[in-house]
């Protein structure tokens, strides 16, 4: 696989941006409006625009060009395996029930089909046909698949002739099955070939990496990565806190796009898969300072070990070709875990909507009869990777006193809350419309609860109160979560309360499993019995 690393095409044209940065601000605000939508009072938009304007024009332009969703390689290879299994089983059935000499499908046929599936998967794996570099090759991929599938039938014929196993299976079915399955497998591989090449050209199958740290060490690392065969790493730029005197602005043809603070904002805008910290392992203090800033991002973080000439066992490190890396942090809930969690969300959210639909209808009627205004309340909250999402709830406040910006927290006996609102807040019925957010993919059933953008304690936003607060946004927020199960719901009037919430959220992220989600979902109704802080 050729390296499709980003290469600068030349300096940014200064005529594209005015001297005061107004055109850049206009472009950024337009981009944010499309992603976020207009916000009441426009305060959120101003905060987001200001936060990202510490990026240079070049960095911003590159970040905006690195959007879009990627495709998980483990999920892709798993789906290709599944398609092979379905094609083999499907052609076996077609061969048994079609044609002038249809034989039917009995137990011997079933045994032969199951054995052929197992052997074909093993042979295809040995031939590397589930490797993305091979999927990008047309004739070579077809040859490997044809050879592997033919070898399965050759082995089957050998067993029949030497041991008598499968002698009762009609040869007409075997011949028809082979004649149907081989073209089907080859056709499917041609489709895979076209899709993989398209996804590679559009950047959806590459791993996008940022180099943290510059100078000679970064230059050597880049040269080693580019020398690796079938390299799928695309280097998108370099970030370094050091000045240009100590860290050149361009290293091995890649631009230095800013410092570490700018990197965090860059990774919020762009789709980045990996951060490679290119700093000697012996510089422990500097490495720890960097990791303290970077661990809040939902990306893989690896320390480059190539300059230290340390030999690692595979269990203690990962490799890109022959270049060793120390794995520091992995992207949480990725690949098949992400697929499993999404299926979990869709299934249980759909069941919950069916079961709770009468409650939701009665609540909507009660809200409408109790006070004037819309039934649903919409609020901007933080989602995955600090993305701003709109969350739906049943309106629990008087419409003219609603606080979509969450500038004033709800307190005990709050006069803004309606009579119906007090009940649905205590019982968390007001949260039920968020099930629609789950089906839309903006929320998960279980995860860190989504906090309002302007949520604060003691006139300080929560990211100022809690160091590493944004680490809770490394996964999708949830309708319920581990913090709520442990009693951390309701008013947040002290720094300790939000600290405890964040600690529970980080614990959930680091220990996630489907069984953990089931446990939290099962315990949620019981946790709602504690209404001490819910008002």
| 310-324 residue pLDDT tens | 443 443 456 666 665
* pLDDT band, very low/low/confident/very high, at 283 (cuts 50, 70, 90): low
pLDDT over 90 at 501, yes or no: no
Q: Identify the residue with better confidence: 105 or 150.
A: 150
Q: Among 10-19, 162-171, 211-220, 428-437, whose mean pLDDT is lowest? A: 10-19
Q: Write the burial class of residue 280 (CB in 10 Å: 0-12 exposed, 13-18 middle, 19+ buried).
A: middle
User: What integer is the mean pLDDT of 29-38?
Assistant: 40
Q: Among 377-391, 398-412, 430-444, whose mean pLDDT is lowest? A: 398-412
Q: Among 422-426, 485-489, 507-511, whose mean pLDDT is lowest? A: 485-489
Query: Nearest to residue 396, comparing CAs of 214, 535, 208?
Result: 535
Q: What is the chain's mean pLDDT, rounded?
A: 79
Q: Identify the residue with better confidence: 285 or 425.
A: 425
User: What integer is the mean pLDDT of 30-37?
Assistant: 40
Residue with tokens 């880049």: 222
Q: Identify the residue with better confidence: 466 or 14.
A: 466
Cα dist. 353→55, 323, 442 in Å?
A: 43, 50, 16
pLDDT over 70 at 31, yes or no: no
The answer regarding whether domain 14-70+203-329 maps to CATH 3.90.1530.30 reads no
Backbone φ/ψ region at 194: left (φ over 0), alpha (ψ -120 to 50), beta: alpha
Q: Among 35-44, 230-239, 389-398, 498-507, whose mean pLDDT is lowest? A: 35-44
What per-residue confidence (pLDDT) applies to 142? Answer: 92
User: What integer is the mean pLDDT of 201-205?
Assistant: 83
Q: Where are the alpha helices (DSSP H) in 127-272?
A: 132-135, 138-162, 171-201, 215-226, 260-269
* Percent of the chain clearing pLDDT 70 (strictly above): 79
The verdict on pTM exceeding 0.75 is: no
pLDDT over 60 at 392, yes or no: yes
Q: Identify the residue with better confidence: 71 or 405.
A: 71
What per-residue confidence (pLDDT) applies to 79? Answer: 93
- Residue intervals of the chain classified under CATH 3.40.50.720 are 14-70+203-329
Task: Give per-residue pLDDT as tens, 328-346.
Answer: 667 788 778 888 899 999 9
Q: Taking the mean position of all CA atoms in its chain, how far away is CA 243?
A: 33
pLDDT over 60 at 389, yes or no: yes
Q: Identify the residue with better confidence: 190 or 9.
A: 190
pLDDT over 50 at 48, yes or no: no
User: What integer is the mean pLDDT of 284-304?
Assistant: 80
* pLDDT band, very low/low/confident/very high, at 54 (cuts 50, 70, 90): low
What per-residue confidence (pLDDT) applies to 324? Answer: 58
What per-residue confidence (pLDDT) applies to 194? Answer: 93
Q: Which two tokens stand for residue 46?
A: 């101003």
Q: Identify the residue with better confidence: 54 or 60.
A: 60
pLDDT over 70 at 90, yes or no: yes
User: What integer is the mean pLDDT of 244-262?
Assistant: 84
Task: Give per-residue pLDDT as tens, 210-226.
Answer: 998 888 888 888 888 88
What per-residue confidence (pLDDT) applies to 529? Answer: 72
Query: Nearest to residue 157, comparing CAs of 144, 143, 175?
Result: 175
Q: Taking the mean position of all CA atoms in its chain, how far away is CA 342?
A: 11
């Amino acid at each position: 696989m050729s390296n499709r690393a980003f290469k600068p095409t030349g300096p940014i044209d200064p005529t594209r941006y005015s001297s005061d940065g107004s055109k850049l601000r206009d472009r950024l605000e337009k981009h944010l409006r499309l992603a976020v939508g207009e916000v009441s009072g426009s305060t959120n938009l101003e905060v987001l625009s200001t936060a990202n304007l510490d990026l240079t024009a070049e960095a911003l332009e590159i970040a905006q060009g690195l959007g879009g969703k990627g495709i998980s390689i483990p999920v892709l290879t798993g789906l290709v395996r599944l398609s092979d299994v379905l094609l083999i089983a499907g052609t076996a059935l077609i061969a048994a029930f079609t044609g002038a000499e249809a034989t039917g499908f009995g137990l011997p046929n079933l045994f032969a089909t199951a054995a052929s599936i197992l052997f074909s998967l093993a042979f295809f794996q040995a031939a590397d046909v589930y490797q993305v570099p091979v999927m990008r090759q047309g004739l070579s991929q077809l040859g490997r698949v044809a050879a592997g599938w033919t070898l399965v039938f050759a082995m089957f014929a050998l067993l029949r002739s030497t041991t008598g196993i499968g002698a009762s299976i009609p040869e007409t079915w075997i011949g028809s099955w082979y004649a149907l399955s081989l073209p089907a497998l080859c056709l499917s591989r041609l489709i895979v070939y076209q899709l993989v090449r398209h996804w590679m050209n559009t950047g959806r199958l590459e791993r996008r990496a940022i180099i943290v740290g510059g100078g000679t060490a970064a230059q050597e690392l880049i040269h080693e990565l580019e020398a690796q065969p079938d390299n799928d790493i695309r280097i998108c730029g370099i970030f370094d806190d050091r000045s240009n005197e100590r860290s050149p602005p361009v290293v091995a043809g890649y631009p230095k796009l800013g410092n570490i603070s700018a990197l965090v904002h860059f990774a919020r805008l762009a789709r980045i898969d990996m951060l490679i910290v290119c700093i000697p392992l012996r510089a422990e203090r500097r490495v720890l300072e960097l990791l303290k800033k970077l661990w809040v991002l939902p990306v893989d973080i690896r320390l480059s070990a190539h300059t230290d000439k340390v030999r690692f066992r595979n269990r203690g490190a990962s490799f890109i070709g022959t270049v060793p890396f120390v794995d520091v942090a992995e992207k949480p809930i990725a690949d098949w875990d992400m697929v499993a969690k999404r299926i979990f969300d869709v299934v249980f959210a759909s069941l919950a909507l069916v079961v709770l639909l009468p409650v939701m209808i009665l609540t909507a009627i009660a809200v409408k009869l109790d006070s004037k205004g819309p039934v649903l309340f919409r609020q901007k909250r933080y989602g995955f990777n600090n993305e701003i999402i709109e969350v739906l709830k049943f309106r629990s406040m008087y419409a003219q006193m609603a606080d979509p910006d969450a500038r004033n927290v709800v307190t005990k006996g709050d006069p803004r809350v309606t009579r119906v609102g007090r009940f649905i807040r205590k019982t968390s019925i007001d949260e039920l419309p968020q099930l629609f957010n789950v089906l839309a993919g903006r929320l998960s059933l279980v995860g860190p609860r989504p906090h309002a953008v302007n949520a604060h304690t003691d006139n300080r936003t929560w990211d100022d109160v809690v160091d590493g607060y944004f680490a809770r946004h490394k996964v999708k927020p949830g309708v319920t979560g581990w913090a709520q199960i442990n009693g951390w719901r309701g008013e947040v009037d002290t720094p300790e309360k939000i600290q405890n919430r964040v600690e529970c959220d980080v614990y959930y992220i680091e220990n996630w499993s489907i069984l953990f989600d089931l446990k939290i979902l099962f315990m949620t109704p019981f946790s709602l019995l504690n209404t001490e802080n819910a008002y």
